[in-house]
Structure 1
Amino acid sequence: MLQSHESTRREARSPIVINWHVTEACNYHCGYCYAKWQRMDPQDLIRDPAATTALLQSLHAYFASAESGSRPRLNFAGGEPLLHGSRLISAMRLARSIGFDVSIITNGSRLKERVVASLAPELSLLGLSIDAVAPAVLAAIGRQDRQARRLDLGILARHVAQARRINPALTLKINTVVCAANWHEDLSAVISELAPARWKVLRMLPVVNRDLEVSDMQFRAFVDRHSSLEDVMSVEDNDDMVGSYVMVDPSGRFFQNRLCAPGYDYSPPILDVGAADAFARVGWSALKFDGRYARTVSVVQA
């Protein structure tokens, strides 16, 4: 197992990012994703303001002390975090007041003018998950709700423009998971239009199943097809992802994915043992974390 004490207290090159998966529920059902629940779990810790405050204070106390002068960033993830609506905005405001920079990764389906107006002032980074353009490909992946409604990229672009007007310092990042259903897609036009500071291209990680697993050839073909975007493209193969993310689950436990076996490893609840003790129970590599932020298209070789 990768040891979390390997280099936790490090001279930071990229500020540490803690990904709090506030819910496993999602209105989409992407085949590669671990989030298979359509209904919200009443046990999600974010529903309890006191527990949320205690969790964020514990995380900040530990990770702020482990950094060398940079603010840790708390990334709200899911499932689809915007399913928590006003609770999410309140948690973001709390995180900022405690001392975090704040970001979110969302499928974009819940972005409305009112939501963006509340969300944008709290964020240092807006992350969007965009895997395809063609309706048939979106359907094959599962990027649609139960009424077969899919993301309208034109409307999404307007919401991104609105967020940038409200918060000119906002950074945009786009995540794309390459899988068997979309490896042949060309996203050059949409990425160019949205103009993210970073486009993260991830190879589908078979944590739950291998139904949409992509071959080496297919993954390389997708990356090569988008070589004109290499200035913003950051490529992550499966080994790059394992052990390089700091992740907290909806009930407030650190967890880490496995490369050689399905499923995850979990820590005890952070609120029971504290962030330092809990983090020591899961694998994490600071070197791999920093490597992801230095990673470019050149890492994928034939």
Structure 2
Amino acid sequence: MLKEAGMEKINFSGGEPFLQDRGEFVGKLVQFCKQELKLSSVSIVSNGSMIRERWFKRYGDYLDILAVSCDSFDEEVNVLIGRGQGNKNHIENLQRLRKWCRDYAVAFKLNSVINRFNVHEDMNEQIKALNPVRWKVFQCLLIEGENTGEDALREAEKFIISDEDFERFLDGHREVSCLVPESNQKMRDSYLILDEYMRFLNCRNGRKEPSKSILDVGVEHAIKFSGFDEKMFLSRGGKYVWSKADMKLEW
């Protein structure tokens, strides 16, 4: 239905997409979207903790971009933020994933959420060494019911930084050519998000307000309640070369 409505790109995120059968489920979705739907771009956002090389061997051909979440290159800071992976070293695992992306011709992307615990960190050297196609730098965002409020699964108030702090972090990394900044304002209105019930989630009012499911009312009707701002999408660089077939990559 989404393809028929004009969808060109799909991104699977979570939660952690590789939790289900260590990625077999999302692998089959990726393969379907590329092989059957023939979408221009299929991507995944993951913390990388459960990805194995055998997944790349089986599904790497169908994946355009793997975005790995990395908020710090200091293991102690990762633990403070909640990115600790037990006995695993998050940074070593990140480097291993970077190598697999090169080996299996998958574009490598990094996502970092800038917050109170990493806002003063200098990441220039590490980002340049990893050389991602894009480094998405997000300002920590409060979403009612998700990371703030009575029913929230976690409390994010202690992570919040000011707009000025976020701008200072960006200024300190202005020489990183792949950096793509996303302030709170840009994030709220510029994504088309579907939940597990195939409902668009409108974040304009600081919480995720669901539309009716596209399975019940169709894409054209449901998308009217998505809160999507196409101009903001374009201004944040949402449209870019997102198919690995069109990328000139140094694998």
Normalising by structure 1, we get a TM-score of 0.70
Whether 1:136 aligns to 2:76 is: yes
SS in 1 for 2:56: helix
Whether 1:165 aligns to 2:103 is: yes
Supply the distance in 1 between the matched residues of 2:99 and 2:42 (Cα, whole angstroms). 19
Deviation at 1:206, TM superposition (A): 1.1
1:108 touches 1:151 (CA, 8 Å); kept in 2?
no
- Alignment-mate amino acid for residue 82 of structure 1: F
Greater RCO, 1 or 2 (C-alpha within 8 Å, sep 6+)? 1
Deviation at 1:217, TM superposition (A): 2.9
Whether 1:228 aligns to 2:175 is: yes
Partner of residue 87, structure 1: 25
2:192 touches 2:226 (CA, 8 Å); kept in 1?
no
- Alignment-mate amino acid for residue 256 of structure 1: N
SS in 1 for 2:167: helix
Deviation at 1:149, TM superposition (A): 4.1
Supply the distance in 1 between the matched residues of 2:87 and 2:166 (Cα, whole angstroms). 27
Partner of residue 300, structure 1: none
- Alignment-mate amino acid for residue 154 of structure 1: E
Partner of residue 21, structure 1: none
1:237-252 to structure 2, matched below 5 A, reads 237-252=183-198
Pick the aligned partner of 1:119 from 59, 70, 73: 59
Whether 1:109 aligns to 2:45 is: no
**Contiguous gaps of at least 5 residues in structure 1:** 1-57, 65-71, 296-302
Whether 1:280 aligns to 2:216 is: no
1:111 touches 1:156 (CA, 8 Å); kept in 2?
no
Supply the distance in 2 between the matched residues of 1:135 and 1:216 (Cα, whole angstroms). 26
Partner of residue 152, structure 2: none
2:202 touches 2:225 (CA, 8 Å); kept in 1?
no
Deviation at 1:151, TM superposition (A): 4.5
After alignment, is 158-167 or 127-136 more displaced? 158-167
Normalising by structure 2, we get a TM-score of 0.83
Partner of residue 210, structure 2: 266
- Alignment-mate amino acid for residue 282 of structure 1: S
1:244 touches 1:284 (CA, 8 Å); kept in 2?
yes
Deviation at 1:150, TM superposition (A): 4.9
SS in 1 for 2:190: coil
Supply the distance in 2 between the matched residues of 1:193 and 1:120 (Cα, whole angstroms). 23
Deviation string 1:271-294 (CA, Å, 9 cap, x unpaired) is 111111111122111111111117
Supply the distance in 2 between the matched residues of 1:171 and 1:228 (Cα, whole angstroms). 21
Deviation at 1:143, TM superposition (A): 0.8
Deviation at 1:176, TM superposition (A): 0.8
Partner of residue 213, structure 1: 160
Quick one: percent identity of the two aligned structures? 30
- Alignment-mate amino acid for residue 182 of structure 1: N
Supply the distance in 2 between the matched residues of 1:119 and 1:152 (Cα, whole angstroms). 23
- Alignment-mate amino acid for residue 91 of structure 2: L
1:104 touches 1:125 (CA, 8 Å); kept in 2?
yes
2:57 touches 2:104 (CA, 8 Å); kept in 1?
yes
